[in-house]
Structure 1
């Protein structure tokens, strides 16, 4: 008589989990989903709900805060200054980053050293960069000293109503240009040299190679840089807060600085929440338009 077969051991929960790739993936992504919900979705829903809540005892929803914001000259000025800032700084940073990336992609002397110089501002925290530029742009700072040494009049820079916003643009671009250059340079490295060789055989000039080879092949990195640069410049806060605090005469009062002042200086948390919702809506609208335009040009 044959001996009875040994009883099969019941699989443990660990063995069952290791054999289920979906469960393993969900377990790994669990902390990310939790962080997304508690750090992104929940604050967004709370801001929308709080901005729409009515002040009366009966509760309910109201658009009174939004009507008050859009009729507030300070908020209107913040929207205008942010739009003006974005219209100038986005093309400036992207075009300069593209030019530097094209130059660094060529075989130039001391190419590694130049890449280090371009990327060096990226590793410096934005707040530290703002402090450095704050010293450089002071009325008695080194830049005005240099201007006086060569016989040029001193400039107000951060204390001038006409030069404060351009000065903020320079400070932000000092960091941003190097950062976006890394992505565009990586995209240029992925373009096959055979495309340029074929264009040369067809008698294409340098400009024609750039227009008909480089730009079409660089469309995806350019789209990413365009969208990411737009979002980051809408959210500029530290340089404004450190260097000008929105002044002089609210000429650098960008929308993030206005939200901070409403929420933490004037204790208007409902107005700050409503301004945040408006900012997110504007950013999403601009990004959607950018995606549509880039898609149409790509087709």
Structure 2
């Protein structure tokens, strides 16, 4: 009797696993066709010529990666991307955090302000890019404002010094609302009794922020850091619409560089090698986020 019950439980267990795999099968097929296989093909393509020339696809080993490491243009693009990423991630973490702390205090019109801050996230980045291009053109509203205060017009989009800050401002404005909402959600998970106990102990606002808010938001901070960094690393539309990678290649970011190599020069193997490096950085960031979720003390 006990054996029959055990066999019956085993049949139920196996049938439940079969049903689970049956429900997972469509998603797994979708991921395999549209995610895993393209990634494998990308890595394979990075070891080939990958061109549509008469020679066709030819295995070249590490030649594309060697060419990347020896290319001055590639290192300039890496420098541009690092500059753009750091200058975008820092303000889009600090400013939304401070705004979220202020909105979490229960001020009047909090829902309206939260919606207003989130609107840029829902706006098409191409439309935003066209708007910024109009604002910062030589005879645009920004230069009119500069002249109103007695300054000289600035060639924002054709000056190697000022073109990148325009892209950074655009990307920061676009990402701010998303990070604000995430920080607000994270603040809701911190128990209120911690702040009440801190008040009884005489802690001021800065001490509460340092010893309660920041430690309580550690997983949220990692999430915002990872998502914002990935957002900046994959930036393409703003470069394509606003500057086109110029002037003098100073706003050429990695994804736009990959696009130029693949669809401008049709060197798909070289572009795939650059894209594989970008994929490696992205997977490293995702690993950091998952590790932090497993161990919040990291």
Q: TM-score, normalised by structure 1?
A: 0.87
Aligned residue in 2 for 1:265: 264
**1:293–1:137 CA distance, 2 compared to 1 (3 A):** same
Give the equivalent residue in structure 2 for 1:176.
175
Once the two structures are superposed, residues 150-186 of structure 1 have per-residue CA deviations (whole angstroms, 9 ceiling, x without a partner) of: 2222222222101111110100111101111111111
Post-superposition CA distance 1:81-140 (Å, at most 9, x none)? 111111221112111111111111112232222112211111111111111111111111
Alignment-derived partner of residue 160 in structure 1: 159
- SS in structure 1 of the partner of residue 153 of structure 2: coil
Structure 1: any 5+ residue segments left out of the alignment?
1-15
Q: Distance in 1 between matches of 2:295 and 2:25?
A: 37
* In structure 2, C-alpha distance between the alignment counterparts of 1:243 and 1:57, rounded to whole Å: 35
Distance 1:294 1:35, change over 3 A: closer
Which stretch of structure 1 is more off in the superposition, 35-44 or 48-57? Answer: 48-57
Q: Which position in structure 2 is the counterpart of 1:23?
A: 18
Larger radius of gyration: 1
Q: Pairwise mapping of residues 1-299 of structure 1 onto structure 2 (< 5 A)?
A: 20-53=15-48, 62-285=61-284, 288=287, 298=297
Q: Tell me, in whole angstroms, the C-alpha distance in 1 between the residues paired with 2:258 and 2:179.
A: 27
Counterparts of 2:151 and 2:290, CA distance in 1: 45
Are the structure 2 counterparts of residues 134 and 269 from structure 1 closer, same or farther at C-alpha, using a change threshold of 3 Å? same
CA distance in 1, matches of 2:154, 2:292: 40
Q: Is the 8 A contact 2:49 2:270 kept in 1?
A: no
Aligned residues: 283
User: Displacement, 1:257?
Assistant: 0.5
Matched residue, 1:10: none
TM-score where L is the length of structure 2: 0.87
- The Cα of 1:294 is off from its aligned counterpart by 9.4
Query: What root-mean-square deviation, in Å, do the aligned CA atoms of Structure 1 and Structure 2 show?
Result: 2.6
Instruction: Tell me the alpha carbon deviations over residues 171-205 of structure 1, each in whole angstroms, 9 at most, x when there is no partner.
Output: 01111011111111111122221110000001111
Q: Aligned residue for 2:3?
A: none
Secondary structure at 2:74's aligned position in 1? helix
Contact 2:49 2:268 (C-alpha < 8 Å) held by counterparts: no
